[in-house]
Protein backbone atom coordinates (compact mmCIF):
# COMPACT_ATOMS: atom_id res chain seq x y z
CA UNK A 1 0.00 0.00 0.00
CA UNK A 2 1.36 3.42 -1.01
CA UNK A 3 2.08 5.69 1.93
CA UNK A 4 0.53 9.12 1.53
CA UNK A 5 2.73 12.17 2.17
CA UNK A 6 2.10 14.09 5.40
CA UNK A 7 -0.41 16.93 5.29
CA UNK A 8 1.24 20.21 4.33
CA UNK A 9 0.06 23.22 6.31
CA UNK A 10 0.18 26.63 4.72
CA UNK A 11 -0.99 30.05 5.96
CA UNK A 12 -3.39 32.19 3.93
CA UNK A 13 -1.51 35.14 2.50
CA UNK A 14 -2.00 38.20 0.37
CA UNK A 15 0.48 38.27 -2.50
CA UNK A 16 1.27 39.99 -5.76
CA UNK A 17 1.18 37.42 -8.59
CA UNK A 18 3.03 38.07 -11.81
CA UNK A 19 2.69 35.96 -14.93
CA UNK A 20 4.61 37.62 -17.74
CA UNK A 21 4.66 34.55 -19.96
CA UNK A 22 4.24 34.34 -23.72
CA UNK A 23 3.69 31.19 -25.72
CA UNK A 24 4.60 30.98 -29.40
CA UNK A 25 2.96 27.86 -30.87
CA UNK A 26 5.44 27.71 -33.75
CA UNK A 27 8.01 26.33 -31.30
CA UNK A 28 5.84 23.32 -30.44
CA UNK A 29 4.90 22.78 -34.08
CA UNK A 30 8.53 22.84 -35.24
CA UNK A 31 9.50 20.48 -32.42
CA UNK A 32 6.72 18.11 -33.47
CA UNK A 33 7.88 18.27 -37.10
CA UNK A 34 11.44 17.49 -36.01
CA UNK A 35 10.26 14.57 -33.87
CA UNK A 36 8.20 13.02 -36.67
CA UNK A 37 11.06 13.46 -39.12
CA UNK A 38 13.36 11.59 -36.75
CA UNK A 39 10.75 8.85 -36.30
CA UNK A 40 10.32 8.45 -40.06
CA UNK A 41 14.06 8.22 -40.67
CA UNK A 42 14.48 5.74 -37.82
CA UNK A 43 11.55 3.62 -39.04
CA UNK A 44 13.03 3.43 -42.53
CA UNK A 45 16.40 2.35 -41.15
CA UNK A 46 14.68 -0.31 -39.02
CA UNK A 47 12.55 -1.43 -41.98
CA UNK A 48 9.28 -1.03 -40.08
CA UNK A 49 5.83 -1.49 -41.59
CA UNK A 50 5.27 0.86 -44.51
CA UNK A 51 1.73 1.79 -43.43
CA UNK A 52 3.00 2.92 -40.03
CA UNK A 53 5.81 4.93 -41.62
CA UNK A 54 3.35 6.61 -43.97
CA UNK A 55 1.09 7.71 -41.12
CA UNK A 56 4.07 9.36 -39.44
CA UNK A 57 4.95 10.99 -42.77
CA UNK A 58 1.44 12.48 -42.99
CA UNK A 59 1.83 13.87 -39.47
CA UNK A 60 5.31 15.18 -40.28
CA UNK A 61 4.24 16.99 -43.46
CA UNK A 62 1.30 18.54 -41.59
CA UNK A 63 3.51 19.79 -38.76
CA UNK A 64 6.06 21.21 -41.22
CA UNK A 65 3.30 23.10 -43.03
CA UNK A 66 1.88 24.39 -39.74
CA UNK A 67 5.38 25.41 -38.65
CA UNK A 68 5.80 27.51 -41.77
CA UNK A 69 2.52 29.29 -41.14
CA UNK A 70 3.43 29.78 -37.48
CA UNK A 71 6.79 31.25 -38.43
CA UNK A 72 5.26 33.60 -40.98
CA UNK A 73 2.51 34.69 -38.57
CA UNK A 74 5.09 35.45 -35.88
CA UNK A 75 7.14 37.64 -38.23
CA UNK A 76 4.02 39.37 -39.52
CA UNK A 77 2.74 40.08 -36.02
CA UNK A 78 6.06 41.67 -35.06
CA UNK A 79 6.29 43.79 -38.21
CA UNK A 80 2.63 44.89 -38.08
CA UNK A 81 2.47 45.53 -34.34
CA UNK A 82 0.24 48.56 -33.81
CA UNK A 83 -1.34 48.23 -37.26
CA UNK A 84 -4.63 46.34 -36.59
CA UNK A 85 -6.10 46.83 -40.07
CA UNK A 86 -2.97 45.60 -41.82
CA UNK A 87 -2.73 42.66 -39.42
CA UNK A 88 -6.37 41.70 -40.08
CA UNK A 89 -5.64 41.52 -43.82
CA UNK A 90 -2.40 39.65 -43.19
CA UNK A 91 -3.94 37.11 -40.83
CA UNK A 92 -6.44 35.80 -43.39
CA UNK A 93 -4.07 35.72 -46.35
CA UNK A 94 -2.42 32.60 -47.75
CA UNK A 95 1.09 31.72 -46.59
CA UNK A 96 2.50 32.78 -49.96
CA UNK A 97 0.76 36.17 -49.77
CA UNK A 98 1.96 36.60 -46.19
CA UNK A 99 5.53 36.06 -47.33
CA UNK A 100 4.96 38.61 -50.10
CA UNK A 101 3.80 41.12 -47.49
CA UNK A 102 6.91 40.46 -45.40
CA UNK A 103 9.01 40.96 -48.52
CA UNK A 104 7.43 44.38 -49.06
CA UNK A 105 7.96 45.36 -45.43
CA UNK A 106 11.58 44.22 -45.24
CA UNK A 107 12.83 44.56 -48.80
CA UNK A 108 14.23 41.02 -49.00
CA UNK A 109 14.65 39.36 -52.39
CA UNK A 110 12.64 36.19 -53.05
CA UNK A 111 12.88 33.83 -56.02
CA UNK A 112 9.81 31.61 -56.01
CA UNK A 113 11.32 29.34 -58.68
CA UNK A 114 14.18 28.24 -56.44
CA UNK A 115 14.55 26.58 -53.07
CA UNK A 116 13.76 27.24 -50.32
CA UNK A 117 10.73 29.24 -51.53
CA UNK A 118 9.74 26.92 -54.39
CA UNK A 119 9.01 24.20 -51.83
CA UNK A 120 6.28 26.30 -50.20
CA UNK A 121 3.89 25.70 -53.11
CA UNK A 122 4.17 21.90 -52.85
CA UNK A 123 3.87 22.08 -49.08
CA UNK A 124 0.85 24.40 -49.17
CA UNK A 125 -0.93 22.17 -51.68
CA UNK A 126 -0.45 19.14 -49.44
CA UNK A 127 -1.47 21.10 -46.36
CA UNK A 128 -4.69 22.26 -48.05
CA UNK A 129 -5.50 18.74 -49.22
CA UNK A 130 -5.00 17.32 -45.73
CA UNK A 131 -6.93 20.17 -44.08
CA UNK A 132 -9.81 19.99 -46.60
CA UNK A 133 -9.76 16.38 -47.83
CA UNK A 134 -11.86 15.35 -50.82
CA UNK A 135 -12.46 11.99 -52.46
CA UNK A 136 -9.59 11.03 -54.75
CA UNK A 137 -10.57 9.12 -57.91
CA UNK A 138 -8.22 6.63 -59.54
CA UNK A 139 -6.91 7.65 -62.96
CA UNK A 140 -7.33 6.08 -65.45
CA UNK A 141 -10.63 4.51 -64.47
CA UNK A 142 -10.60 1.71 -67.05
CA UNK A 143 -8.18 0.32 -69.64
CA UNK A 144 -7.37 -2.78 -71.65
CA UNK A 145 -4.24 -4.75 -70.70
CA UNK A 146 -2.61 -8.10 -71.30
CA UNK A 147 -1.12 -10.24 -68.55
CA UNK A 148 -1.98 -12.64 -65.76
CA UNK A 149 -4.58 -12.26 -63.06
CA UNK A 150 -1.80 -11.94 -60.45
CA UNK A 151 -0.07 -9.22 -62.47
CA UNK A 152 -3.29 -7.24 -62.77
CA UNK A 153 -3.94 -7.49 -59.02
CA UNK A 154 -0.41 -6.27 -58.35
CA UNK A 155 -0.98 -3.25 -60.57
CA UNK A 156 -4.18 -2.39 -58.72
CA UNK A 157 -2.55 -2.83 -55.30
CA UNK A 158 0.21 -0.41 -56.29
CA UNK A 159 -2.27 2.35 -57.17
CA UNK A 160 -1.63 5.56 -55.24
CA UNK A 161 -3.34 8.96 -55.62
CA UNK A 162 -1.17 11.96 -56.42
CA UNK A 163 -1.14 13.29 -52.84
CA UNK A 164 0.12 9.96 -51.49
CA UNK A 165 2.90 9.85 -54.09
CA UNK A 166 3.91 13.38 -53.05
CA UNK A 167 4.55 12.43 -49.42
CA UNK A 168 7.94 10.76 -49.44
CA UNK A 169 10.95 10.72 -47.08
CA UNK A 170 12.90 12.84 -49.56
CA UNK A 171 10.12 15.44 -49.72
CA UNK A 172 9.96 15.53 -45.93
CA UNK A 173 13.71 16.17 -45.72
CA UNK A 174 13.48 18.89 -48.38
CA UNK A 175 10.41 20.57 -46.88
CA UNK A 176 11.76 20.58 -43.33
CA UNK A 177 15.16 21.90 -44.44
CA UNK A 178 13.62 24.64 -46.60
CA UNK A 179 11.06 25.78 -44.02
CA UNK A 180 13.79 26.14 -41.39
CA UNK A 181 15.89 28.07 -43.93
CA UNK A 182 13.00 30.43 -44.67
CA UNK A 183 12.52 30.96 -40.93
CA UNK A 184 16.11 32.08 -40.48
CA UNK A 185 15.93 34.34 -43.54
CA UNK A 186 12.73 36.03 -42.33
CA UNK A 187 14.08 36.48 -38.79
CA UNK A 188 17.18 38.20 -40.17
CA UNK A 189 15.11 40.35 -42.55
CA UNK A 190 12.84 41.48 -39.70
CA UNK A 191 15.87 42.08 -37.45
CA UNK A 192 14.57 39.65 -34.83
CA UNK A 193 16.99 37.58 -32.76
CA UNK A 194 16.16 33.88 -32.69
CA UNK A 195 15.86 33.79 -28.90
CA UNK A 196 13.17 36.50 -29.11
CA UNK A 197 10.95 33.93 -30.84
CA UNK A 198 11.23 31.40 -28.02
CA UNK A 199 8.33 30.82 -25.67
CA UNK A 200 9.03 31.91 -22.11
CA UNK A 201 8.92 34.75 -19.65
CA UNK A 202 8.79 35.18 -15.90
CA UNK A 203 6.39 34.19 -13.14
CA UNK A 204 6.46 34.99 -9.46
CA UNK A 205 4.71 35.29 -6.10
CA UNK A 206 5.61 38.28 -3.92
CA UNK A 207 4.41 38.15 -0.30
CA UNK A 208 2.51 41.21 0.93
CA UNK A 209 1.27 39.95 4.31
CA UNK A 210 0.04 36.88 6.20
CA UNK A 211 -3.75 36.81 6.69
CA UNK A 212 -4.30 33.86 9.01
CA UNK A 213 -2.72 30.94 10.77
CA UNK A 214 -1.77 27.73 9.01
CA UNK A 215 -4.48 25.82 7.16
CA UNK A 216 -4.46 22.21 6.11
CA UNK A 217 -4.03 21.81 2.35
Tens of pLDDT, residues 167-177 = 999 999 999 99
Is the residue at 11 inside a domain?
Answer: no
Contacts of 50 (CB under 8 A, 6+ apart): none
| E strands present in the chain | 9-22, 200-216
Domain that holds residue 123: 23-202
- Cα 215 to Cα 5, 6, 7, 8, 66, distances in angstroms: 16, 14, 10, 8, 47
Give the integer Cα–Cα distance in Å for 57 and 64: 10
Is the residue at 215 inside a domain?
Answer: no
Give the integer Cα–Cα distance in Å for 183 and 172: 16
Is the residue at 109 inside a domain?
Answer: yes
Is the residue at 47 inside a domain?
Answer: yes
CB burial of residue 183 (10 Å; 0-12, 13-18, 19+): buried
* CA nearest neighbour of 103 among 175, 181, 182, 26: 182
The structural domain count of the chain equals 1
The chain-wide mean pLDDT, for the chain, equals 91
Is the residue at 1 inside a domain?
Answer: no
- Look at residue 51 in the predicted model and tell me its pLDDT: 80
31-45, 76-90, 140-154, 165-179: least confidently modelled range: 140-154
- Look at residue 38 in the predicted model and tell me its pLDDT: 95
Is the residue at 14 inside a domain?
Answer: no
Of 79-93, 140-154, 156-170, where does the model show the most confidence? 79-93
Is the residue at 195 inside a domain?
Answer: yes
- Look at residue 135 in the predicted model and tell me its pLDDT: 84
CB burial of residue 17 (10 Å; 0-12, 13-18, 19+): exposed
Is the residue at 3 inside a domain?
Answer: no
* pTM of structure: 0.82
CB burial of residue 63 (10 Å; 0-12, 13-18, 19+): buried
- Model confidence at 52, pLDDT cuts 50, 70, 90, reads confident
- Model confidence at 4, pLDDT cuts 50, 70, 90, reads low
- Look at residue 7 in the predicted model and tell me its pLDDT: 67
Amino acid sequence: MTKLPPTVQQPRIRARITNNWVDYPHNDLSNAARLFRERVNKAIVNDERTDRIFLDMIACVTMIAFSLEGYVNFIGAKLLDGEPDEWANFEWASVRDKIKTIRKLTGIQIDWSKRPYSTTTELSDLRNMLAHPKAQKAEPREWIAEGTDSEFKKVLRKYEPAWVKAITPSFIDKAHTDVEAIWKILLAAAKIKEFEAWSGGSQGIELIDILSAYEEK
